[in-house]
Amino acid sequence: MGIRAISFDFWNTLFTEQPGGFAEYKENRRRLLREALCGRGEFTDSQMDHACTLEAESHYRIWRDEHCTLGTARRVEKILGHLGATLPDGIEAGIVTQFEEGLLSRPPVLIAGAAETVEHLAQRYRLGIISDVGFSPGRVLRKVLEGAGILGFFDSLVFSDEAGRSKPHVDLFERTSRTLQTLPGQIVHIGDLEHTDIVGAKGAGYFAIRFTGATPMDEDETTIADRVTSDLRELPGLISAL
């Protein structure tokens, strides 16, 4: 029973930020928040930074411990709650949209070898993406994929905000298996994080390849992945060997 399908993580497997991208997105969110709250109370930059930090820490704990990701609207509500602030519905909705689409002003870029490898693998295998999201939901990451010219190679797209769960929850992998119409034991998942990508894939009955080109393994770290590579261009050979 050979490999018939492949799923990829999005962040730090196919795409990575442009230099300084995440810091720029963060500062733009702070600016949008300051502008929206102007004239609606006395809020210092320190207070707004603290509110955003509290929400980010909460978001991380929910992602790590409960295996789900809150939508951007709920995250904005929590930031405002930490501030004890309110915004009119229309203005709050506008902030949510701008938070979600902020990375489109400076989109993430394909990792070396990603485009040609995806195109090559699509000639032989069905392809999917299984991705957790932050402020930018699946609908925005689809635009990034389209802008990079690789959206059409994928038969399945599963994003945590749409699935209601995040990796390593088995539901995301089972959804992908159903959409790809392929048994879990005939799918290999490629990702950079052990506790989400690799643990999730192996727990769902997939094969797994750990990609270390953007997220190197710690010196004393071990992995339960079937293979490890720092170069996406090695994937065709590694998958054939599986």
| CATH 3.30.70, domain 21-105, yes or no | no
Check residue 218 and give its pLDDT.
93
Q: Residue 45 pLDDT > 90, yes or no?
A: no
Which residues, including other chains, have CB under 8 Å from residue 119's CB and lie 6 or more apart?
A: 150, 153
Q: Tell me if domain 5-17+107-241 and domain 21-105 are identical in fold.
A: no
Q: For position 197, what pLDDT does the model report?
A: 98
Note the pLDDT tens digit of each residue in 96-120.
999 999 999 999 999 999 999 999 9
**Residues facing 24 on adjacent strands:** none
How many CB atoms neighbour CB 46 within 10 A? 8
- Asked whether the predicted pLDDT for residue 217 surpasses 90, the reply is yes
In whole angstroms, what is the distance from residue 36 CA to residue 92 CA?
8
Average pLDDT of the segment spanning 108-136: 97
Q: Which of 134, 177, 181, 182 is nearest to 159 (CA)?
A: 134
- Asked if pLDDT for residue 176 goes beyond 90, the answer is yes
Distance CA 32, CA 45 (A): 12
pLDDT score at 85:
92
Q: Residues 218-224: what's their mean pLDDT?
A: 94
DSSP for residue 111: P
Helix 21-37 vs helix 89-101: angle between axes, to the nearest 10 degrees?
170
**Helices (H), strands (E): how many in the chain?**
10, 8
Across the range 29-34, mean pLDDT stands at 91
Helices (H), 137-215: 138-147, 160-163, 170-180, 199-203
CATH code of the domain occupying 5-17+107-241: 3.40.50.1000
Taking the C-alpha atoms of residue 86 and residue 41, their distance in angstroms, rounded to an integer, is: 10
Specify whether the CB–CB gap between 128 and 156 falls below 8 A.
yes
How high is the pLDDT of residue 181?
Answer: 96
Angle, CA 27 vertex, CA 24 and CA 30 arms, to 5°: 155
How far is Cα 127 from Cα 174, in angstroms, rounded to an integer? Answer: 14
**Every domain of the chain and the residues it spans:** 5-17+107-241, 21-105
Helix 21-37, helix 45-61: angle, nearest 10: 120
% of the chain with per-residue pLDDT over 90:
90
Cα 173 from Cα 206, distance rounded (Å) = 8
Q: Range with the lowest mean pLDDT among 40-49, 63-72, 139-148, 199-208?
A: 40-49
pLDDT at residue 43, as a whole number = 86
Residue 152 pLDDT greater than 90, yes or no:
yes
pLDDT for 175 equals 97
pLDDT for 1:
64
Mean pLDDT computed over 13-18: 96
Average pLDDT of the residues of the chain: 95
180-199 pLDDT, tens digit per residue, is: 999 999 999 999 999 999 99
Contact by Cβ (8 Å): 7, 187: yes
Q: Which tokens go with 104?
A: 């489109």
